[in-house]
Structure 1
Amino acid sequence: MRNPATGAVLAVAENADLADIDRAVRVADAAFRSGVWSAMPIHERAALIHRFADGIEHRMEDLYRLETANNGRPITETKAQISRLSEWYRYNASLLLADRDAVVPMRGDYHSYTSRMPLGVVAILASFNHPMMIASKALAPALATGNSVVLKPSEQTPLTAMLLADIAHEAGIPAGVLNVVNGLGPTAGAALTEHELVRKVTFTGGTEPGRSIAVATARRFARSTLELGGKSPVLVFPDTPVDVAARGAAFAGFIGAGQTCIAGSRLIVHRDIYEPFVESLADIARGIRIGDPAEASTQVGPVISQRARQRILSCVQQGVEDGARLVTGGATAQVEGFEDGYFVQPTVLADVTNDMAVAREEIFGPVVVVIPFGDEDEAVAIANDSPFALGSAIWTRDVARAHRVAHRLEAGMVWVNDHHRLDPSSPWGGLKDSGVGREGGWESFHEFTHVRAVTIRTATDDVDWYGGQATGRLN
């Protein structure tokens, strides 16, 4: 893999073949079946997960510096995000202790209740943009519920995943419970997805790979949680001060160099404030400090690769050819001392219509498009007219409008006067081409378990269905 800020080789990792994947899965399966983790008393398992979280906090500086070098995200952003990493493990350890079985009100002389059991081997396929956070959103509940895990980080950003495995081992997570394999998505990732012993796959990435995973897991009735593409709408109403909305939109669209599925890349702005908003946003974009991601003053770093930069700039050019107005950006950014880095200027395209490719396709770079609207109904219609439905945002000072519009938007998440915020207690995921399933909260925790129903007959007489007159109820 390469350092995206310099283009230089950062490290070399093994590329797992089919035999490597098979061995990792079978080790995980053996650990699961041994009961060393899956049958461990829940208070002991929760304590080890808390110890794992302690280890993450102790190695935090190593983690965020390594992640910044590996994916090019500014260190200030990286630190702000993964400084919260341990919360996911502590929250899910707490859910483990708080979870209760349900008593089922069955008719007759029966006591019926439910209990939960882990699935088995879980495969986690993480992406390059938020390697630790994306892995942990699945790893924390998978471990807490007693599963064994095979984690395959992105081939572009594997370094922190390997360090995470070391921290887990030092914390006392038993051997075979957490396994990290490096390899390419189309080979190692596909092998994991299709392995007969893998009972659940979680994946964050593009829609088409996600669609293939859904098909592969469905063939053997395994589960999948898929957080896929996005083109999140940001609705800006005229009761919001222009400068406030523009700053919020810049945060929504340019954080992480726009390399996030939830990026607010489709700005839908009321006509009464449209031109002042575009001008204000462009001024902000021009003033963003682009540079060395290891420097605390840097606000936007490079994109992940040269190939990604070429694709992003091609999308911008296509937008201009389709009639969009290039207000600012649209070119490579030159950073002194980092001439071979993969930097892209924060870009604003105005006068976009919702049928243009730049408004419908995920660009995955620091590019936002601005679309005008006239009234609330039109704004909602434009927002919902998309193959994606991951996140959305509303900027308004009208509380009634905020609730009203939030309930009309087709999206897994809606922010009001903000963007990008997440918490381990809040479900995260999308609809339509943005995927299926949720990460976070009870919704995610229980998705790593099977539910079983236990029914106990409490009547004093014997069962003798065939020896006399049959009575009672059957299914």
Structure 2
Amino acid sequence: MNQTDTQRPDTAAPPADGVARRDRAIINPATGEVIRTVPDSTVAEVDKAVEVARTAFDSGPWPRMPRSERARHLLRFADAIEAHTETLFQLETRNNGRPITETRAQLARVPEWFRYNAGLLAAQRDAVLPGDGPYLTYQRRSPLGVCGIITPFNHPLLILARSLSAALATGNTVVIKPSEMTPLTTLALIGILRDAGLPEDVVMVVTGGREVGERLTGHPDIAKITLTGGTEAGRAAAVATAARFARVTAELGGKTPIVVFDDIDPLVAAEGAAFAAFVAAGQSCVAGSRFLVQRGSYDAFVEALSARASAIRIGDPAQPGTQLGPLISSVQRDKVLRLIATGAQEGVRITAGGGVPDLPAELGSGYYVQPTVLADATMSMTVTREEIFGPVAVVVPFDGEDDAVAMANDNRFGLGAGVWTRDIGRGHRVADRITAGMVWVNDHHRLEPSLPWGGVKESGTGRDAGQESFDDFTWIKTVVVRTAADDVDWYGSTEPGRLN
């Protein structure tokens, strides 16, 4: 597949007559250079995309296809994605700036989600429900209709695959809006799926920014929205979908606490902490961003984490030796630098990084920030409370277990958390007490297609991936069948009856 193949203009909404579209430059964040332009869809084009997908749902073959056949389609999709993985991860690195070692590892797993949901579909059973009397009661699951999927810039293809594979497996049609900054692998993926046999009009793509997302979220024919993004976007989606009682799954912001106890080697914990904080340049909703470290190992941990951060190789993400790439945009870079400066004003000690790295001239226009460690923070500081979304680790000391749990839960977010300890009982105990949708013990960022992904509090609602996501793309119909030989004659009977 060459660059021209990735454009696949036939996968986007058809243009609306007489309405001019604005072309958006897609930037390589490593260099600041334009990769190509992609037109912003108009509101009329969003409406047309939904109309086309609705027609495909109402009268097309996909929702009516035997489950075994639809499962075979998903398996073919997985094989096709696998065959194009190298092209996809190179394109994604170019588009969002993640080091190629990271995108290669991540995108190599995308086919797993299609295979997993194909398996759920093939193994799906309709429940038979217990009840009194001569009745057989069972449930049937049906697809919702047209589902909207809104994806972010940081993990464009993986996050899309989580929702798209479940939506397609359950017989829905889909309209996708990728991040306006990183649409390229989404357009490429849909082209691959069409070549692998995805029926016409089952998946549509609209591109653009907030106006496009708001129209898709508020469209009366969208039965469910799955959104990954900021908390305010999620709140707006929840309000828009509530007006028509549509479903919404929203995976939103985070300020992930990583609790490090002094029974673990601080060097071991610091190595794990560095991965949690700096993978994807910290641009992940579950990135480790608040490190709560027991005082007994606090100084050693800060020293080890700072040394590891300072040794990370920053550079061109297309090069295999690069360990940390740029942030997605100049706006995000400037926001991160402002928050680091705010931390310094509030009294943190910058023990690693804190600024822009010195890089070769060809990368001078890229959006880089050094891996940064802010030590001696307190729970009241801005950098401890607000999501930074950059390669910044904030370190706060704590005394005992109760103190650690209280500090971990002292935040408006509740997406992910981590616990580092060699005491297995403590690991289970603290994980149980932390208010977060996902908790890792002695690891971070671990995910599988079977693991429900999502948060609580202002980190969102619903779950992506797992059986939970698969089921939430369907609605349940309960069927009650009277099996008795005699007829029902409530008013003609002389015997006392039972009214249910």
TM-score bin (small chain): over 0.9
Shift of 1:86: 0.1
Among 156, 159, 170, the alignment partner of 1:134 is 159
Matched, 1:198 2:218: no
Give the 3-state SS of the residue equivalent to 1:173 in structure 2: coil
1:361 corresponding residue in structure 2:
386
Matched, 1:241 2:270: no
Alignment-mate amino acid for residue 234 of structure 2: G
1:417 corresponding residue in structure 2:
442
Alignment-mate amino acid for residue 222 of structure 2: V
Kept in 2: contact 1:266–1:359 (CA 8 A): yes
Kept in 1: contact 2:98–2:280 (CA 8 A): yes
Distance 1:274 1:319 in 2: 19
Shift of 1:465: 2.1
Alignment-mate amino acid for residue 136 of structure 1: A
Give the 3-state SS of the residue equivalent to 2:35 in structure 1: coil
Alignment-mate amino acid for residue 231 of structure 1: K
2:376 corresponding residue in structure 1:
351
What is the root-mean-square deviation in Å for CA atoms of aligned residues? 0.9
Alignment-mate amino acid for residue 311 of structure 2: G
1:279 corresponding residue in structure 2:
303
Distance 1:153 1:411 in 2: 26
Among 140, 143, 157, the alignment partner of 1:118 is 143
Give the 3-state SS of the residue equivalent to 1:302 in structure 2: coil
Shift of 1:468: 3.3
Alignment-mate amino acid for residue 94 of structure 2: A
2:5 corresponding residue in structure 1:
none
Distance 1:426 1:48 in 2: 23
Give the 3-state SS of the residue equivalent to 1:108 in structure 2: coil
Alignment-mate amino acid for residue 339 of structure 1: G
2:21 corresponding residue in structure 1:
none
Matched, 1:224 2:248: yes
Residues 418-427 or 458-467, more deviating:
458-467
Alignment-mate amino acid for residue 279 of structure 2: I
2:18 corresponding residue in structure 1:
none
Among 225, 237, 241, the alignment partner of 1:213 is 237
Matched, 1:16 2:53: no
2:191 corresponding residue in structure 1:
166
1:387 corresponding residue in structure 2:
412
Residues 438-447 or 221-230, more deviating:
438-447
Q: 1:252-401, aligned counterparts within 5 Å?
A: 252-336=276-360, 337-401=362-426
Kept in 2: contact 1:236–1:270 (CA 8 A): yes
Mark the runs of 5 or more structure 2 residues left unpaired by the alignment. Answer: 1-25
Distance 2:357 2:127 in 1: 58
Among 152, 162, 169, the alignment partner of 2:177 is 152
Among 412, 435, 440, the alignment partner of 2:460 is 435
Distance 2:450 2:374 in 1: 36
Distance 1:439 1:414 in 2: 16
Alignment-mate amino acid for residue 219 of structure 1: A
Distance 1:386 1:6 in 2: 36
Shift of 1:35: 4.2
2:10 corresponding residue in structure 1:
none
Shift of 1:357: 1.1
1:468 corresponding residue in structure 2:
493
Kept in 1: contact 2:262–2:296 (CA 8 A): yes
Aligned pairs, number: 474
Distance 2:487 2:101 in 1: 70
Distance 2:459 2:267 in 1: 30
Distance 1:227 1:256 in 2: 17
Alpha-carbon spacing, 1:387–1:465, altered in 2? closer, same or farther (3 Å): same
Distance 2:247 2:58 in 1: 19
Distance 1:352 1:214 in 2: 34
Kept in 2: contact 1:334–1:343 (CA 8 A): no
C-alpha distance after superposition, 1:406-442 (max 9, x if no partner): 1111011110111001000111110000001111111
Distance 1:17 1:285 in 2: 44
Give the 3-state SS of the residue equivalent to 1:419 in structure 2: coil
Shift of 1:319: 1.0
Give the 3-state SS of the residue equivalent to 2:397 in structure 1: strand
Shift of 1:323: 1.4
Give the 3-state SS of the residue equivalent to 1:13 in structure 2: strand
Among 116, 119, 138, the alignment partner of 1:91 is 116
Kept in 1: contact 2:490–2:497 (CA 8 A): no
Q: 1:69-108, aligned counterparts within 5 Å?
A: 69-108=94-133
Alignment-mate amino acid for residue 55 of structure 2: A
Among 44, 48, 54, the alignment partner of 2:73 is 48
Distance 1:296 1:208 in 2: 36
Residues 376-385 or 462-471, more deviating:
462-471
Kept in 2: contact 1:465–1:471 (CA 8 A): no
Distance 2:411 2:85 in 1: 39
Kept in 2: contact 1:3–1:9 (CA 8 A): yes
Shift of 1:474: 3.3
Alpha-carbon spacing, 1:142–1:470, altered in 2? closer, same or farther (3 Å): farther
Give the 3-state SS of the residue equivalent to 1:12 in structure 2: strand
Alignment-mate amino acid for residue 363 of structure 1: I
Give the 3-state SS of the residue equivalent to 1:284 in structure 2: helix
Runs of 4+ aligned structure 1 residues displaced above 4 Å come to none
C-alpha distance after superposition, 1:446-465 (max 9, x if no partner): 01000110110101111222
Alpha-carbon spacing, 1:474–1:197, altered in 2? closer, same or farther (3 Å): farther
Distance 1:388 1:376 in 2: 20
Shift of 1:471: 4.6
